[in-house]
Amino acid sequence: MDERIAELERQKAQALQNSNNTYGDMLQDNQNLYDKQYQLAEDAERTQNELLDKQLAYNEQVVNRNKEEARKNMETEQKKARNDYLNYINPYGAQAEALGSQGLLNSGVSGNAQMGAYTIYQNRNATANKVMQDAFVQYDDEMAQARLNHDSNMAQNALAKLQAQMDALKEFTQNKNSITQQQLTNNQNIDSEYYGRYSDEYNRYQEELARQEAIRQWEAEMAEQQRQYNENLAYQREQAQRAQQQWEQQMAYQKEQDRLAQQQWQKEYELQKKAYENSAELEDNRIIETDYWNGPINKDVKYGTFGTKDKNGVEYQPDNYEGKKLSKSGYKVKDIFGTGKLFGETGASLDNQTIWQTKDGKYYIWDGSQNKYFEVQLVSRVR
């Protein structure tokens, strides 16, 4: 008994170990899935932020390039304004020649013109500088908006990462709880199963004890019965010998009666066989008359007919071919061979004749003009 219980304990421990290993692997797989999802969210945020940083850096390069272009435009305009002013006040320039030709070179008109040219020069410098400053303000605004969009997008990426990680954590927790509950249920089932097996083993042990006691009692009873049997054996043998003699006499009488009965049966059988053969010979020699045939009946009618009758009411179309029963194949001649392809001996069309089949996979067509079936080869459309 102890050995059987120990074996059950070993089996139970192995079953629990297998269960824990299985569900432990499932929990590890669930952990690995969560870690991968968590890292994927981190990687996705990092990749998106790297793209945002590159876009911001590119925008900053564009703004700085535009600022440098505005500065160069200002310097070009200021240089051009200075050159125009210097050319205007040059005593040997075109303006001086124009005033000299009018006799106004050293007059008040010349002084006023130079003052006007200087004012224009100053205004052009101021305008060029203002254009550059306005461009700087616009570019700075664009850069500020780019940084704001950059920070907003990074915040959205962080929020998306957090949401993905929270979803992964939720799924991980649900799966872990489900697997843990399944493991607990499975282990409880194992405990329940082996408790039942312990109970069954104990009950079998009790049954074995009861059976051993029953055997002991039976053996004692059998010993007593054997003693009584031995006492009566001589008497029974004598009775058996007498019964054997009577049986042998009865058997000899019965064999003689059976032999005589067999002889009588054989005689009657031979008479019936002869009568049947005479009758069959008469049946096979009958003459039938149809629209297509006038002559001996088909010999296979002795195995059965379809009930088709000739002009005299004789059933003449066999429902078999040489004793093998025929059944409809589901096709007519025209379905397989086409219309106007097969004709009977008298030239009558066989288009509407049924194609019959036997269990051995052969196919036949009844030709009333020959009063017999002829075999046709299997074709692809016949199943």
Determine contact, residues 132/68, Cβ cutoff 8 Å: no
pLDDT at 285: 77
Distance between CA 81 and CA 124 in Å, rounded?
6
Percent of the chain with pLDDT over 70: 89
Query: What residue ranges of the chain have pLDDT lower than 50?
Result: 96, 104-105, 109-110, 380, 382-383
pLDDT at 238: 87
- DSSP code for 297: P
pLDDT at 383: 42
pLDDT at 303: 94
Start-to-end CA span in the chain (Å): 66
What the block records as the tokens of 106 is: 């050293």
pLDDT at 109: 42
Closest CA to 287 of 262, 259, 314, 267: 314
What the block records as the tokens of 41 is: 């969210």
Q: What is the DSSP string of 161-212?
A: HHHHHHHHHHHHHHHHHHHHHHHHHHHHHHHHHHHHHHHHHHHHHHHHHHHH
Q: Residue 130 is which amino acid?
A: K
Q: What is the per-residue pLDDT across 102-153, written as a single tens digit (0 to 9) for each?
A: 554 455 544 576 788 889 989 989 998 999 999 899 989 989 999 999 999 9
Q: Residue 263 is which amino acid?
A: Q
Q: What is the per-residue pLDDT across 223-260, written as a single tens digit (0 to 9) for each?
A: 999 999 888 888 888 888 888 888 888 888 888 888 88
Q: Which class for 316: exposed (0-12), middle (13-18), buried (19 or more C-beta within 10 A)?
A: buried
Determine contact, residues 44/161, Cβ cutoff 8 Å: yes
What the block records as the tokens of 301 is: 């009618």
Closest CA to 160 of 61, 52, 30: 52
pLDDT at 253: 85
No. of helices (H) and no. of strands (E), the chain: 4, 8
pLDDT at 306: 93
Global pTM value: 0.40
Determine contact, residues 350/333, Cβ cutoff 8 Å: yes
